[in-house]
Amino acid sequence: MRIAIDAMGGDHGPAMTVAGALLAAKEWSDVEIVLVGDEGKITGHLSGGTLPANVKILHAADVIAADDEPARAVRRKKDASMVVAGRLIREGEADAMISAGNTGALMATGLLVVGRIDGIERPALAPMLPTMDGSGFLALDLGANMDSTPDNLLQYAIMGSIYRNKVNGLPKPRVGLLNVGTEAGKGNELTKAAYPLLEQAPIHFVGNVEAREVLHGNCDVLVCDGFAGNILLKSMEGTAEFVFKALKTEFTRSFMSKLAAAILKPGLSAFKKKMDYSEHGAAPLLGINGLMLKCHGPSDANAFKNAVRQARIALSNGLVGAISTETSRKRDG
Amino acid sequence: MRIAIDAMGGDHGPAMTVAGALLAAKEWSDVEIVLVGDEGKITGHLSGGTLPANVKILHAADVIAADDEPARAVRRKKDASMVVAGRLIREGEADAMISAGNTGALMATGLLVVGRIDGIERPALAPMLPTMDGSGFLALDLGANMDSTPDNLLQYAIMGSIYRNKVNGLPKPRVGLLNVGTEAGKGNELTKAAYPLLEQAPIHFVGNVEAREVLHGNCDVLVCDGFAGNILLKSMEGTAEFVFKALKTEFTRSFMSKLAAAILKPGLSAFKKKMDYSEHGAAPLLGINGLMLKCHGPSDANAFKNAVRQARIALSNGLVGAISTETSRKRDG
């Protein structure tokens, strides 16, 4: 299988993407990695070593910046590393791509360069969010589409369920609908209309889930529109940040509290790491006719290696084909 | 001024409402309190003492339960304490009412018994949420309406701004719009359409505010639809609960960590209290043609006393009249 990595994406650029590619290539000999980006810069990060047989470089002269206007940048910068990687998928030269670059531009690359799966109206960005028990849940859509229809939510539910099955091996992923109460009649017009669709879908629908409950791990897939999903994620992040900041203040208040903090620190660091959703792997962009994984901006070499692992599992288990089959089955039925 | 208290509402019923009324009556001689509810039960909580001159009891035989279907209960239970208190406002027998009962039923009482201010389409529930600096922000709507129009959001903004001015004395409350990014063009159809309306409103509009940022205290009023507001509030609560649970686990892990916890406890308790939005007073139901305040279910005597203080300030400063004037001015202009 061939996996393209946008070598220029992410906060650290080739320094981390190249290192990650080398780690992955060493670990999995059945994977061929194509590093797409500025050849000189990529080579510069090989520290004089030669490329392993299963890593190639594909030169791309341009780069999409973090503050580029997504759709416009993808349309104009035809030689940007991200766009070239997307083109490799479309032309069958790669099976998957990984990028830590501009999220909006990656979604635009998915839509404009790679293309959607037939019958999927809106692809969805689906990161894993943390739960108390450490298992996490896949939330979608997390920002690809600000407005959704009930049918969009239905497709998110089906795609998310297939992903958790194919990539995480869950035999029967529990799918929940983000809502303001657990009863069936609760919610806004969107969730009220989506509920009966989810009930009849070929998924294990566990009903409405409140924002307060999601951290308890009572679903494996959480379905929501991109606006509500953003509010959920950002307020979780903001609150956690708020609490940790307050803890820090308490910890440094006096000599005794510093001592106390030193005792508690290892346990708290482990917990903080569990809370950090960027520890939970790359987010797939589901509904695209090819596998696309979004890594976090600050990803290190290990995060890129792990994204290759994720791509490898998704490819081995035919994720995109399974989504496509389910979607066309629904359409034909 | 006359303030009706739904004596039967809240987790503790008359035990706390009566005690709170007595505290308030003692503190403010210009306030007359009407305790509405089961006369026998109310009297039972006077512990044999006589009523102060500025406290009256108005018998109401029925009670709305926590699990009653709101609109139906308000329509049928015409002699429920909450409904009777609402009728006192409508008939000019009371200037305000305070209840810790069923939130949905209180909103139904506002709509069906007291009535809206002319020109207000949707009343909004507006609790104070915590910020890092302890000042807090008023968020509306927090659950009265699941679906909102841009005009609804405009009215929430105006009402919230007037409330912070009249009740909290802020000369120029900063009004923010809950959104997924700070730029003007960000958001879903609703927030994109509301943005220009807020720009032209007679308020100090500070633009879009991300869910991640609200805890930093960068606005005094946060405008959102009831669905997004619920997701925001509940995920803040859920995350804080999650973190405190994890802390507790760390604190009880070993003898040393218990020792460390004992040192840190006072500071953390103070912080936890700051985070608890139920410490931030009663939530007004804005847009009703009369003052209605919702106390939290577990409110104690002091919380009811503080709600009377809040009502007293709002009444003295003509909150409802100011909202009504601004709304009709807008309509006529």
With CB atoms and an 8 Å threshold, state whether A235 touches B235.
yes
pLDDT tens, position by position, A233-267? 999 989 888 888 888 888 888 888 888 888 888 88
**The domain containing residue A68 runs over which residues?**
2-118+287-332
Predicted ipTM of the assembly:
0.91
User: What is the average pLDDT score of chain A?
Assistant: 93
Predicted pLDDT of residue B116? 96
Residues B266 and B143 both lie in one domain: yes
The per-residue pLDDT for A7 is: 98
Q: Which residue has the higher pLDDT, A141 or B333?
A: A141
Q: Is residue B232 part of a domain?
A: yes
| Confidence band for B276, pLDDT divided at 50, 70 and 90 | confident
Burial class (CB in 10 A: 0-12, 13-18, 19+), A278: middle
User: Are residues B98 and B142 both part of a single domain?
Assistant: no
Query: Which of B215, B259, B267 is opposite residue A253, by nearest beta carbon?
Result: B267
- Residue A102, domain member (yes or no): yes
Q: How close does chain B come to A81, measured CA to CA in Å?
A: 26
Per-range mean pLDDT, top range of A119-123, B129-133, B157-161, B270-274: B157-161
Q: Pairing between strand A283-286 and B55-59?
A: unpaired
Residue B333 reports pLDDT greater than 90:
no
Q: Is the pLDDT of residue A333 over 80?
A: no
Among B277, B301, B317, give the residue marking a domain's end. Answer: B277
- Residue A132 and residue A273 share a domain: yes
CB contact under 8 A, A267 and B261: no
pLDDT above 70: residue B330: no
Instruction: Give me the pLDDT at residue A277, please.
Output: 65
Q: Is the pLDDT of residue B81 over 80?
A: yes
pLDDT for res B331: 58
Highest mean pLDDT: which range of A48-52, A232-236, A315-319, B213-217: A315-319
Spatial CA neighbour of B153 closest among B88, B224, B210, B237: B224
Q: Look at residues A225, A210, A205 and name the one whose alpha carbon lies nearest to residue A153.
A: A225
Contact criterion met (CB < 8 Å) for A235 and B241: no
* A60 and A104 both lie in a single domain: yes
Query: Is B8 found in the same domain as B41?
Result: yes
Q: What is the arithmetic mean of pLDDT over A190-210? A: 97
Alpha carbon of residue A205 to chain centroid: 22
Measured over all CA atoms, what is the biggest interatomic distance in chain B, rounded to whole angstroms? 70
Minimum distance, in Å, between the CA of residue B116 and any CA atom of chain A: 22
- A270 and A162 within one domain: yes
Q: Supply the pLDDT for residue B128.
A: 94
Segment A210-229 mean pLDDT? 95
Write out pLDDT tens, residues B207-239.
Answer: 999 999 998 999 999 999 999 999 999 999 898
Average pLDDT score, chain B: 93
Residue range A268-280: mean pLDDT, rounded: 74
B307 in any annotated domain:
yes
* pLDDT of B278 strictly over 70: no
Give dist(CA A333, CA A119) in Å, integer: 13
- Among candidate residues B133, B126, B174, the one with its CA nearest the CA of residue B274: B133
Going by DSSP bridges, is the β-strand pair A291-294/A96-99 parallel, antiparallel, or unpaired? parallel
State whether A132 and A256 are in the same domain. yes
Question: What is the average pLDDT across B80-108?
Answer: 97
- Check whether residue A132 and residue A232 sit in a common domain: yes
Residue B282 lies in a domain: no
pLDDT at B7: 98
- Interchain proximity A239–B215, CB inside 8 Å: yes
For B43-58, b/e burial (b = at least 16 CB within 10 A) is: eebbeeeebeebbebb
Of B239, B264, B267, the CB nearest to A239: B239
Determine the pLDDT at residue B256: 84
- Does B123 reside within a domain? no
Q: What is the pLDDT of residue B318?
A: 97
Mutate to test the interface with A, among B103, B222, B239 (most CBs of A within 10 A): B239
CB-based contact B242 A132, cutoff 8 Å? yes
The region of weakest confidence among A27-36, B83-92, B126-135 is B126-135
Give Cα separations from A233 to A127, B62, B214, B237 (angstroms): 10, 43, 13, 13
- Select the more confidently predicted residue: A255 or A82: A82
Higher pLDDT, A198 or B249: A198
**Closest-CA distance of chain A to residue B267, Å:** 6
User: Which helix (H) or strand (E) element contains residue B192?
Assistant: helix B189-200
Say which residues have a Cβ less than 8 Å from residue B241's Cβ, sequence separation at least 6.
A212, A215
B164-177 confidence digits (pLDDT tens): 999 999 999 999 99
What six digits make up the tokens of B277? 């939005």
Structural domain contains residue B94: yes
Could you tell me the two tokens for A216? 């308890």
Q: Is residue A138 part of a domain?
A: yes
Q: Of A35, A44, A46, A55, whose CA–CA distance to A99 is shortest? A: A35
> Residues A239, A174: one domain?
yes
**Which helix or strand (DSSP H or E) is residue B36 part of?**
strand B32-37
Task: Establish if B96 belongs to a structural domain.
Answer: yes
Closest residue in B to A228 (Cα–Cα) = B228
B299 and B322 in a single domain? The answer is yes
| Residues 6 or more apart whose Cβ sits within 8 Å of residue B64 | B9, B73, B74, B77, B80, B81, B82, B83, B101, B102, B105
3-state secondary structure of B151: helix
CB < 8 Å to A212, chain B: 234-235, 237-238, 241
The confidence band for B272, taking pLDDT boundaries of 50, 70 and 90, is: confident
Number of structural domains chain B divides into: 2
Whole-structure pTM value: 0.93
A268/B247 touch (CB, cutoff 8 Å), yes or no: yes
For residue range A125-150, what is the model confidence (pLDDT) as tens digits? 999 998 888 889 999 999 888 999 99
Residue B57 sits in a domain of what CATH number?
3.40.718.10
Tell me, yes or no, whether A178 and A294 share the same domain: no
pLDDT at B71 over 70: yes
* Same domain? A56 vs A132: no
